[in-house]
Amino acid sequence: DCQETDPAKSEIYLVEGDSAGGSAKQARDRRYQAILPLKGKILNVEKARFDKMLSSEQVTTLITALGAGIGPEDFDIKKIRYHRIIIMTDADVDGSHIRTLLLTFFYRHMPELLDRGYIYFAEPPLYKITTRKMSVYIKDDEELQQHLLESAMDGAAIVAVSGGTLAGPDLIALSREYLAVRTAITRLRRRHEPPVLWALTEVTPLLGGARAAPATTSAFAEELNRRLMATGGHATTRYSTRVDGGEDGWAVVVESERHGQYRRTRLESRFFDSSEYRAIAALGEEMRRRAGEGPTVRRADRETQVSDFAGALDWLLAEARRGLTIQRYKGLGEMDADQLWETTMDATQRRLSRVTIEDAVSADEVFTVLMGDEVAPRRQFIESNAFSVTNLDI
């Protein structure tokens, strides 16, 4: 517990795991910060009866620590001991599960805590970047990418064979556009082969989208096949591309064979009207216009010739990583007390996000679908989101 008795000046951290809880106890400011380690996962409040829930040691310890009771007759917000209840978990699947369980618990049984804005998420860093001069903590993959990009752009320029130079804000803007498309292609990879999607940046955009004329789509498929064979096809890989018709419209079908393994990418006509295709096509046109083939890329006093804009950006990002040590924290337990205080518990530096009632409602809805007794909604949710998964834990 903490020494402060004024709830408005007190806060409690609900910490995942004993190891992180131990570091948090050492790191905290005892005057106003209390620590409650969560051992394992809190009871599934979706399926548990109220009396069973109250028999859970995890739940009763949490209720006792907060001090306001539970249930419509016993809960009294005036008795709450902390006005900042901070959920601090690892940035992985188990951590997400614990956050969802706790949000569901508070939404079902202590909704006034959410109404008053007393619930927060801690945002511990995922990375630590160290140079010879300093260390920087990075929140997540997106911030790491942004940090490396800013470093890579310092003194950078791409000089096309034609003589044009791409640098400064224009280079930064095109680099961000490229990275956004790369993220989209990563998301689409379970439906479509990435080499096929990247080849779309190297061919003439399909005009008319789903309404393109048959002759136009045939010419597009032929150009796509030539590009695939030129950039990705070799002695062990074969590509064939055609336009298929059907009740739902035409589709560009790309089949590949490598070492006896066959894959098929089917780009339905509606794909060519999607925001993803528009971004891919626009990026391709801009890369060809600004960098072309065989440009020279420079940064500070180093330079090299590369095949295209993608090669130039990869080289710049690799240069930015030179001399850096990038540590990825797998969990809160990997931080010592000083690091945990500096990054996550020091009120002058930490990042907290306040949980709204809308956040809790969304968590409750998802939790009901995934953890409830109804099978059909769960199956529908999984089928609808299977191809959008970016962090799968098996």
d(CA 154, CA 165): 15
d(CA 170, CA 168): 6
CA atoms within 13 Å, Cβ hemisphere of 372? 15
Catalytic residue, from 1, 29, 46, 94: name it: 94
Catalytic residue, from 1, 29, 46, 92: name it: 92
Chain CA centroid to CA 229, Å: 33
Amino acid at 49: R
φ, ψ of residue 184 to 5 degrees: the values are -65, -40
Residue 238 pairs in a beta bridge with 257
Is 90 one of the catalytic residues? yes
Catalytic residue, from 11, 16, 268, 308: name it: 16
d(CA 349, CA 292): 44
Is 92 one of the catalytic residues? yes
Contacts of 138 (CB under 8 A, 6+ apart): 125, 126, 127, 128, 129, 144, 147
DSSP code string of 303-351: EEE-SSHHHHHHHHHHHHHTT-EEEE-SSGGGS-HHHHIIIII-TTT--
Is 94 one of the catalytic residues? yes
Amino acid at 206: L
What three-state secondary structure class fits 239?
Answer: strand
Is 76 one of the catalytic residues? no
Pair type for strands 84-88 and 119-122: parallel
Contact yes or no for 332/90 (Cβ under 8 A): yes
d(CA 222, CA 254): 11
Torsion of CA 362, 365, 366, 369, to 10 degrees: -170
Rounded-to-5 percentages of helix, strand, coil across the chain: 50, 20, 30
Residue 244 pairs in a beta bridge with 251
Annotated catalytic residues are 16, 90, 92, 94
